[in-house]
């Protein structure tokens, strides 16, 4: 995914009430080296990020993403981002998005070791082509997360509810899923509850109701899941946050993984057992998710 355009952001204080921060955004040469070797984002994965879906230059759900960036920064004890400045950065990179589907990444790192300030940047690039997987769905395997449902609240230093740059574990889980003959994974707690996928939220349908694991200290609150629930509710469907067991997933009437760039994909099998999928509803959800929000 070649970067098309990037901006360096010189972070200003969250309580700086000016409304023009254009002078704090500097276009970067995307082909040139940009980070210091002392950068803590690369040395320790010490920072937070967001990936925002863009369709024909329109960035979707910007407010939910910048709010989650602020939430992740708070959990990581990073200086609070100035949201006016970050919204402006999103506007500025959106203007350089290629036609069709693209992805904006916002990155806020602790900066250079012993350095004075966080490092921040925003990029935009063409998104991978997910049309086939939206049609065909994914097979998932359940993978042990290694802790129980209460770990997120009991041990906030695990940063389970923050979107941190440390995604090596999530990528390892996807490789394990592929080794087991699936395309994606769902993390399950030691006490048998489903959480989320390495890069997506889980939604299941049981009877007439759509359910998703309650966002807690243990999982990210997905912006796409929020949008999908609003859409379903506007169509008269019932939605609810719930504590869901691995059996609830295996016996669901349908299930989806949802995320900002891949959007909605049906789960077609869990640990090798086929799951029914609702092609019409999946197509409707993706049509909605591709529209300006």
184 interacts with ligand PLP by CB under 6 A: no
Nearer to ligand PLP, 152 or 198 (CB): 198
Q: Least distance in Å: CB of 261 to ligand PLP? A: 7
Shortest distance, position 162 Cβ to ligand PLP, whole Å: 10
- DSSP letter at 99 equals S
Residue from 82, 199, 239, 282 that binds ligand PLP (CB under 6 A)?
199
Dihedral sign computed on CA atoms, order 194, 198, 109, 52: negative
Helix, strand, coil abundance in the chain, percent, nearest 5: 30, 30, 40
State the minimum distance, in angstroms, from the CB of residue 178 to ligand PLP.
Answer: 17
Contact 176, 186 (CB under 8 A): no
List 24, 60, 201, 282, residue binding ligand PLP (CB under 6 A): 201
Instruction: Count the alpha carbons within 13 Å of 287 in the hemisphere toward its beta carbon.
Output: 7
Residues 40-59 that bind ligand PLP (CB under 6 A): 51
Paired with 8 in beta bridges are 26, 121
Report the site for ligand PLP in 243-272 (rule: CB under 6 A): 258-260
CB of 17 to ligand PLP, least distance (A): 28
What minimum distance in Å lies between the beta carbon of 218 and ligand PLP?
11
Report CA-CA distances (Å) from 21 to 9, 26, 64, 79, 269.
10, 11, 21, 17, 48
- Span 206-245, contacts to ligand PLP by CB under 6 A: 220, 222-225
Binding ligand PLP by CB under 6 A: which of 39, 101, 196, 248? 196
Determine which helix (DSSP H) or strand (DSSP E) holds 173, and give its type and residue range.
helix 168-179
Q: Is 89 a residue that touches ligand PLP (CB under 6 A)?
A: no
The SS3 assignment for 192 reads coil
The stretch near ligand PLP (CB under 6 A) out of 79-87, 125-133, 134-142, 198-206 is 198-206
Angle 65-70-71 from CA coordinates, rounded to 5°: 95
Cβ atoms of 121 and 107 closer than 8 Å: yes
Q: Which is nearer to ligand PLP, 38 or 156 (CB)?
A: 156
The residue behind tokens 């993403």 is 65
Kindly state the number of chain residues that form the binding site for ligand PLP, as judged by CB under 6 A: 14
Q: Shortest CA distance to 187 belongs to which of 134, 215, 145? A: 145
Task: With CA atoms as reference, report the closest residue to 245 among 170, 142, 138.
Answer: 142
Which of these ranges, 21-29, 174-182, 191-199, 284-292, lies near ligand PLP under the rule CB under 6 A? 191-199
Task: State in angstroms the smallest separation of the CB of 31 from ligand PLP.
Answer: 27
Contact yes or no for 239/260 (Cβ under 8 A)? no
Q: Does 200 bind ligand PLP (CB under 6 A)?
A: yes
Query: What's the closest the beta carbon of residue 285 comes to ligand PLP, in angstroms?
Result: 12
Q: How far is the CB of 147 from ligand PLP (least distance, A)?
A: 15
Q: How many CB atoms lie within 10 A of CB 163?
A: 22
Q: Binding residues for ligand PLP, per CB under 6 A? A: 51, 196, 198-201, 220, 222-225, 258-260
């Amino acid at each position: 995914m070649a970067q098309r355009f990037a901006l360096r952001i010189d972070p200003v204080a969250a309580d700086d009430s000016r409304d023009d921060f254009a002078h704090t955004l500097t276009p970067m040469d995307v082909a040139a080296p940009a980070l210091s070797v002392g950068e803590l984002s690369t040395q320790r994965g010490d920072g937070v990020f967001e990936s925002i879906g863009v369709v024909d230059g329109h960035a979707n759900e910007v407010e939910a993403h910048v709010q989650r960036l602020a939430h992740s920064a708070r959990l990581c004890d990073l200086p609070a981002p100035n949201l006016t400045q970050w919204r402006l950065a999103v506007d500025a990179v959106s203007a350089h998005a290629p036609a069709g589907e693209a992805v904006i990444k916002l990155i806020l790192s602790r900066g250079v070791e012993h350095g004075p300030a966080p490092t921040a940047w925003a990029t935009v690039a063409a998104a991978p082509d997910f049309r086939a997987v939206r049609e065909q769905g994914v097979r998932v395997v359940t993978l042990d997360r290694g802790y129980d449902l209460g770990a997120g609240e009991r041990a906030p230093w695990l940063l389970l509810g923050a979107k941190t740059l440390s995604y090596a574990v999530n990528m390892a889980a996807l490789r394990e899923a592929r080794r087991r003959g699936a395309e994606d994974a769902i993390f399950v707690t030691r006490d048998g509850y489903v959480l989320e996928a390495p890069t997506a939220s889980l939604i299941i349908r049981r009877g007439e109701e759509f359910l998703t694991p309650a966002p807690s200290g243990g999982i990210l609150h997905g912006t796409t899941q929020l949008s999908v629930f609003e859409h379903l509710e506007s169509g008269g469907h019932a939605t609810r946050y719930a504590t869901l067991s691995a059996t609830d997933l295996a016996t669901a009437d349908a299930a989806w993984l949802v995320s900002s760039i891949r959007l909605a994909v049906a789960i077609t099998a869990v640990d090798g057992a086929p799951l029914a999928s609702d092609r019409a509803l999946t197509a409707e959800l993706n049509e909605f998710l591709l529209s300006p929000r």
